[in-house]
Chains A and B, each alone.
Chain A
């Protein structure tokens, strides 16, 4: 069996009486795309937040690269190699696409406490950042402020940032929302290749993309994982069909 990169064990998180995450265990292994699906409000984003560190689980553990990370802050987890994209894209909006990616490059290089050399003349920042932009197809848009990019482009930019960070795992929260059919198709191809670089935990509503891409799928309903398995297993799982696809039988 392939090496496990990320492992969640018995994660629970409640908001008042609402159990947003109810005893969730799942793992992410080298080379795979593990899709997390479920109806709206199932707690997918809450789960991503706990993995990335913006929310703290009530109980349970998260291990990344064999290390417990539940007590670490967002920045520390990112430094370990946890790259993410956001459900609602989150960028330095006044900065150009290039500068957004350069921020990740400088973080990867270890220090932001350098006060003298101008970043725009620093080839060790600009070149890797341009390379990452080129990989997601945003090279021509490098100088455009993030605020002026389209929804789809902003998703791509977030992926470029995660790439530039040298991520060891990607948490992608609905990366294809806001892309047209043509964009989605291209992006599916891109993600397909990306898994070789680092495994992807993918939250996505586009079921065609999920079924085309995923090695494994976990289905989250009311904060619980009701089924987990290969695409075929999930397609034919009666509980999933009942709970998720609304199949009365």
Chain B
């Protein structure tokens, strides 16, 4: 079997991301470790979105909702763990926790449930309707977070001590990077498996031709709903990691700028490509950092760069280097 050009690029990207924090420490610039962690986490969020958007053609403009709910899961569980007060759900109550594996599990479930609810309504529509409805539902969670003061409302919620991972001191930046990098790799593995599986075949075929998929007896709605749920779960997991990175969660994680940013990551990297979200996140965080260092007006130039990419380089970074995608 020959190794495709895209596979080589993927390996290089994975190694490059892993090398950044070590190089940073080597050159005495530990701040870059945090940048690399941001790349890994935003990459993971976009890996989630890519399953819906890239493989399934479902242009969700509301993935911030999942990212945010993951973040709030981490923040809320941590705050209850710290105060010792249990979380009340009316009939039953559960204690908080500062253990990342538990938090991740809860984030996955919460993200999945929210995605199932939003998807069940939004997927009845398509095209522009779908874009606007996912945006509107995410906005709904945003306003809810702002108007619900129990967990900080507009001001957000701090995580005083970063949550713990068994056997790892997560307060050491490099350790936390490795945790996030590990989760990203698992996310990419899941994404690759899905892409090549029967489910992935049906999902990608439904993007190309919905009628064809129905005429062989597969109901596109169900396939899409499951894809949307998986997609939301992965993005929620990324949200939990992001909250722990910043040790802070606020409604801004739910804002539509966040949703837009995820789409930007995917386009920058290459739509529907396995490592597109990672390439996009690396590029984006780098742009943000470099432009931000040069000018206060970096968003202006970021906008111009994005316009250039959309108008003139539609395949994204991986498309530029590896050419068109191949379907076996």
Contacts and interface: CB of A to CB of B under 8 A. Distances in A.
A115 B215 contact: no
B147 interface: no
Nearest to B192: A118
Given A94-B327, A96-B328, A102-B201, A116 B215 contact: no
A106 B212 contact: no
B217 A108 contact: yes
A165 interface: yes
Contact of A93 (B202, B209, B211, B226): B209
Interface in B171-213: 193-194, 196-202, 204-205, 208-209, 211-213
B126 to A, nearest CB: 15
A95 interface: yes
B219 A73 contact: yes
A119 B209 contact: no
B216 A161 contact: yes
Given A74-B214, A91-B212, A115 B193 contact: yes
B215 A106 contact: no
A66 to B, nearest CB: 19
Interface string B112-142: 0000000000000000000000000000000
A165 B205 contact: no
Contacts, number: 109
B208 A115 contact: no
Contacts of A111: 198
A119 B213 contact: no
A99 interface: yes
Contact of A112 (B208, B214, B223, B327): B223
Nearest to A89: B212
Interface in A89-114: 90-96, 99-100, 102-104, 106-108, 111-114
A195 interface: no
Contact of B215 (A74, A93, A120): A74
A44 interface: no
B20 interface: no
A106 B201 contact: yes
A4 to B, nearest CB: 22
A117 interface: yes
A76 B216 CA distance: 9
A90 B212 contact: yes
B212 A117 contact: no
Nearest to A84: B215
Given A102-B201, A112-B223, A119-B198, A78 B209 contact: no
Given A95-B327, A108-B217, A116 B197 contact: yes
28 contacts: A54-B211, A74-B214, A74-B215, A75-B213, A75-B219, A75-B220, A76-B217, A78-B215, A78-B216, A79-B217, A86-B211, A90-B211, A93-B209, A99-B201, A99-B205, A99-B328, A102-B201, A103-B202, A107-B216, A107-B217, A112-B201, A112-B223, A116-B197, A119-B197, A119-B198, A119-B201, A120-B328, A122-B198
Given A92-B204, A118-B197, A120-B328, 15 more contacts: A84-B215, A90-B209, A90-B212, A94-B208, A96-B328, A100-B205, A103-B218, A106-B201, A107-B217, A108-B217, A112-B201, A112-B223, A113-B198, A116-B193, A120-B196
Interface of B: 193-194, 196-202, 204-205, 208-209, 211-220, 223, 226, 327-328
Interface of A: 52, 54, 73-76, 78-79, 84, 86, 90-96, 99-100, 102-104, 106-108, 111-120, 122, 125, 145, 161, 165
